[in-house]
A and B are shown apart, each in its own frame.
Chain A
Amino acid sequence: MAPPRLRCASLHGVLPMLILQCPYCLIDCDETELTPGGEAHITRYGAGSSDDDLEKYLFMRSNVRGVHFERWRHTFGCGKWFHAARCTQTLEVFGTYSAQTLVPPPNIIDAIKAKRPEWGGFSK
């Protein structure tokens, strides 16, 4: 006689899986080369900001199911931060672009709209 056991058969989470193109090196990076940095285009609220703005800055994330803008660093490569537009549901990648911009560039917006006509557009 032996008791019931849960068996965690999944190797998800320990294996790097995504491929993203570094917009600086222009190579397709395996996720092992990259470090994730969370949602992109978050406005920093520093000294003098309101409690609400601070909360938004520190804690509130869109956590969307669908089109997501996010930060990655090519840590084991050129060391540059960049942004990726990606579908969190299907993991489809619409494009990657420089992190040194406040909004996604038009070519990325166009690429998303071509694949996701129902998408409501970028908003902060």
Chain B
Amino acid sequence: MSKRLPFGGRLIDWTREIKFSFNGAEMEGRPGDTLASALLANDQVLVGRSFKYHRPRGIVASGPEEPNALMNLGEGPTFEPNARATTTELFDGLKARSQNHWPSLEFDVGAINASFPLAFPAGFYYKTFISPRPAWKHIYEPFIRKAAGLGEAPEAEERDADRYEYFYAHADVMVVGGGIAGLTAALAAAKSGSRVLLMEQSAHWGGRAPVDGVEIDGKPADKWIAEAVDDLSKMPNVRMRLRMMGAGIYDHGFALGYERLSDHESADGMLRHRLWRIRAKRIITATGAIERPLSFAGNDVPGVMLASAVRDYAVNYGVGVGKRVVIATNNDDAYRTALVLKDAKVEVPCIIDARPNPTGALVEKARAAGIPVLAGKAVSTAYGGKRLTSVGLCSQDGDGRKTAEYDCDALAMSGGWSPVVHLWSHCGGKLTWDADTAMFRPNHDAAPLGADGNGFVIAAGTADGEMRTAATLANAHAAGLRAAEEAGATALSDDAGPEGTDIDEGPMLPVWQMPAAMSKKAMLKTWLDYQNDVKVSDVRLAAREGFESVEHTKRYTTLGMATDQGKLSNINGLAILADSLGADIPAVGTTTFRPPYHPISMGAIAGEARGDIFKPMRRSPMHDWIDANGGFWEPVADWRRPYCFQKPGETVKDAVTREILAVREKVGLLDASTLGKIIVKGPDAGKFLDMLYTNMMSTLKVGRCRYGLMCSENGFLSDDGVVARLDKDTFLCHTTSGGSDRIHAWMEEWLQTEWWDWQVYTVNVTEQYAQIGVVGPNARMVLEKMGTRMDLSAEGLPFMAFKDGEIGGIKARPYRISFSGELSYEVAVPANQGQAFWDKALETGAEFGITPYGTEALHVMRAEKGFIMIGDETDGTVIPQDLGLNWAISKKKEDFLGKRAQQRSFLTDPNRWKLVGLETVDPQVVIPDGAYAVDGAVRDNGVKNMIGRITSTYFSPTLNRSIAMGLVERGPDRMGEVITFTNPGGEEIAAKIVDPVFLDKEGERQNV
């Protein structure tokens, strides 16, 4: 049955119908409809079930404040939960499903919750699911998790088919809200020469003015709005966007705009949302106001709606929400709805007005139109299940005794208006309570402050608390001029600004519950927060139980914590709290308004950062070759490194074993290009490195290398690597693969902020070189056969030396350094020659059994040699002394970073956990990484006493046994002792404390 009226419909196309579906049922709407107006036009008032009690719920509002009509939209890769029907523009083929019910919207099992309104009061979960303890894990949590949540999460493996992006923008004046205030402010600023960015969250300029029948400059609002939009669109200094919400305002004029580009059409593959990251010198919030519901029993029955929404549906969409509509109000504005309905030939049985003596032009008009005005009255109860059937009448002053009952299928309620102060408040703007109009409005003396210490947000129009047209326009015009001037405009517009005319309105009466002396029973059925099912009784209970702070009450009752963030409920809720506490409303205050104003999509927040471009990846010069030759990638900092090179049919473990044995017996090839390489140069370079490293670097001879350790000022080991002295003033410092940027920044920080008079320069040359390790007994033969005039013999290029020359016709610098204990040359070549050198080494090395190897083989071999790895043996709490690295800590130097801190008592404690090797009693058993050593004692808190832990653990193919390194209490003093390690899910493991160097303690393999 169509509910279209022979009236209104200014936003819809009366000539066409389009099809959509709701819960699988085909329905018809018109272009220009919202999903909500189309549903109402199809007489679909019931649109969802409530969160906690699964009560039937209908559409309440016409805008983004809608708490009930949340929909699952689309399916598969375009599925989206929690979309508001009131802000979803209808398009042909739209598919919507209601939420939070099972098995169906009409019949819901969970609604049994509603039969026991006392069953789930505020704090129910906190109070109920406490004991017995084990029941939480096994019964309560699984059950609650199943019941939790609004809407459905998209399929975990489904990928969003839509595209999103960021957009960066700068403006002198940003105007949020395209109603008559926003347009006026934008015009004033733009005519003063400012660069203006104007955004409106809906699809239409002008806001509520046309619905309210406002006149501006003697013209109907629609006409004035069209002209204003036309003027603005012709100005080159103005950017205007519809369907763009001002989502948040942040420090120093930063703001987020959330633009919905294609939600209003079935546009697969189109850009969907755009997140604008805006810097504005001044921001005008012309965000209007939101009508408040009235708190009476049964105020959540489908058919009970905001009076302004009833008016919107009639005027904008030509939809009558009912055949007989009762009005309940405490102010004059709702009379506009009564008059509109009367014009649309909808029956209005009565206006229930809480004020004892309503006067004013609108009241007189209603009376003159023959609508009975029941003064000093209230709604005792709204009756009905899935649809409103009647309302009971009582005296507002009384206790709710019903004196009459009116049949009706809709109720239009108005509890007054609250300015939308969210954006004003996001960045610290304060509010002031206006007792006359019973609302919080922006406190002009406490605006959000910018970098210069001045307020940068200016509230305009209704959002500033000006509820009349003339005052709104004057306020907005002034705001536009002020913003332009403060943003640096030199020639302010001398236009007078638009003038509005007003109908005289009588004062409103603050009404926080209906009736004033509501019974306890009625409070249990009087909803404050529709979306989270919070009632008047819950807030009063919270107050009785001592939750006096509004922030605590909010969290205890969940008032205002749903996806709508309490846009309808907050003021009513805190008025009830204030009343319960016997305090004034301003003394209770508001909860904190946080961005975003409305939920924004995760896609918009992610923007383009997804998939391959989520994070840029660093690639070594040999990346593509490795990828094509079985490289089994693992992430190492921003790089990818091959864990091993897998041959067809080979397991990862087999590949690692093969690579290790090849290096130990023949020769291996390693891509070490990811190692950080930083040049430190200048007359004071040696002095600087002496401060940076624990060992002495200034005494290093040109042409030689030295292994060094870097510590933080707290004394903890931070990075390690080999330093080479290139000439008297130039050092090349190798860092860990993950440490190059960090260590370079660390050097710069000290040079710029502490020793700025030292003559030292640094440059990060990590990516300028490919570094290729040729490692193993045959390494020298491979390099010599590649062809070089350099003497690579033990005498010509001894261990810890380097040379510059050519190998295989490629400019090369071989360093004789070793992380495996084998004869090893790490050859640095220009990055663009890396692949050529690699190819040549493979080709030449074939006859020597050359084998590319990956990071796991590297790790196992360094562990066989007892070499530490930053991040394995260190974790930010380990000092070099813990790792037996005292030999690398200079005793001659007066100072180095971390030296003083390492002398603190707890770091010199002989009981500290120190590095040892560990051999399992059963050589085939590998201790799990991170396992703890326990001594059988139990600590006071009931946990086993831990005396150490594993830092590296492998099966060594070279030794054919399990090896591990670990930090153990007084470990080096306990050589030969067998200790016990935990093994989650298995038997404890016994291991003997040994020297951490498992292989070739004398270093004979590398000294050849």
Contact = CB atoms under 8 A, between A and B. Distances in A.
A79 B904 CA distance: 34
Contacts of B120: 1
B881 interface: no
Interface size on B, as a range, is 35 or more
A21 to B, nearest CB: 9
Contacts of B148: 2-3, 5
A48 to B, nearest CB: 7
B754 A9 contact: no
A29 to B, nearest CB: 11
Contacts, number: 123
Nearest to B902: A47
Interface string A98-109: 011000000000
A21 B638 CA distance: 30
Interface in B245-289: 248, 250-254, 256, 279
Contact of A81 (B256, B595, B596, B752): B752
| Interface residue SS majority, chain A | loop
A100 B252 CA distance: 27
B251 A99 contact: no
A18 B451 contact: yes
A17 B125 contact: no
A124 interface: no
B595 A12 contact: yes
B667 to A, nearest CB: 41
Nearest to B600: A11
Interface residues of A, number: 43
B430 to A, nearest CB: 12
Interface string B595-620: 11000000001000000000000000
B252 A47 contact: no
Contact of B113 (A1, A6, A92, A93): A1
A7 interface: yes
B67 to A, nearest CB: 14
B754 A90 contact: no
Contact of B596 (A6, A9, A49): A9
Nearest to B449: A90
A120 B899 CA distance: 36
A91 interface: yes
A6 B250 CA distance: 22
B676 to A, nearest CB: 17
Interface in B714-766: 714, 745, 748-749, 752-754, 756
Interface stretch (B1-9, B46-54, B462-470): B46-54
B749 A81 contact: yes
Interface string B18-60: 0000000000000000000000000000000001111000000
Nearest to A59: B714
A44 B754 contact: yes
Interface in A70-99: 71, 73, 75, 79-81, 87, 90-93, 99
A19 B450 CA distance: 9
B748 A79 contact: yes
Contacts of A36: none
B619 to A, nearest CB: 21
Contacts of B532: 4
A25 interface: no
A47 B253 CA distance: 46
Contact of B561 (A4, A47, A80, A91): A4
Interface in A12-27: 12, 15-19
Which of B148, B558, B752, B900: most chain A Cβ within 10 A?
B900
A117 interface: no
Nearest to B756: A100
Interface string B288-304: 00000000000000000
Contact of B595 (A7, A9, A79): A9
B894 A100 contact: no
Given A9-B565, A11-B596, A37 B749 contact: yes
A29 B51 CA distance: 46
Contact of B256 (A11, A54, A73): A11
Nearest to B119: A1
A65 interface: no
Contact of A19 (B144, B279, B428): B279
A110 interface: no
B218 interface: no
A19 B278 CA distance: 13
A35 B741 CA distance: 13
| Interface residue SS majority, chain B | loop
A10 B144 CA distance: 25
Nearest to A9: B594
Contacts of B449: 90-92
Given A15-B256, A91-B252, A58 B714 contact: yes
Given A19-B279, A91-B449, A48 B900 contact: yes
Nearest to B168: A30
A113 B654 CA distance: 71
Given A1-B147, A81-B749, A11 B561 contact: no
A52 to B, nearest CB: 12
Contact of B451 (A45, A48, A93, A99): A93
Given A6-B561, A100-B752, A15 B147 contact: no
Interface in B873-900: 894-896, 899-900
Given A9-B565, A12-B595, A4 B125 contact: yes
A1 B54 contact: yes
Contact of A47 (B144, B756, B895): B895
Given A1-B120, A1-B147, A71-B753, A46 B451 contact: no
B595 to A, nearest CB: 5
B149 interface: yes
A30 B251 CA distance: 11
Interface in B148-190: 148-150
Contacts of B253: 19
A77 to B, nearest CB: 13
19 contacts: A2-B51, A2-B149, A2-B150, A3-B148, A5-B148, A5-B561, A6-B555, A12-B595, A15-B248, A16-B254, A19-B451, A30-B279, A35-B745, A37-B749, A46-B900, A47-B894, A47-B900, A73-B748, A93-B451
Interface of A: 1-7, 9-12, 15-19, 30, 35, 37, 44-49, 51, 54, 57-58, 71, 73, 75, 79-81, 87, 90-93, 99-100, 115
Interface of B: 51-54, 110, 113, 120, 125-126, 144, 147-150, 248, 250-254, 256, 279, 428, 449-453, 532, 555, 558, 561-563, 565, 594-596, 605, 713-714, 745, 748-749, 752-754, 756, 894-896, 899-901, 904
Given A4-B558, A11-B596, 6 more contacts: A1-B53, A2-B51, A10-B595, A15-B250, A91-B251, A100-B756
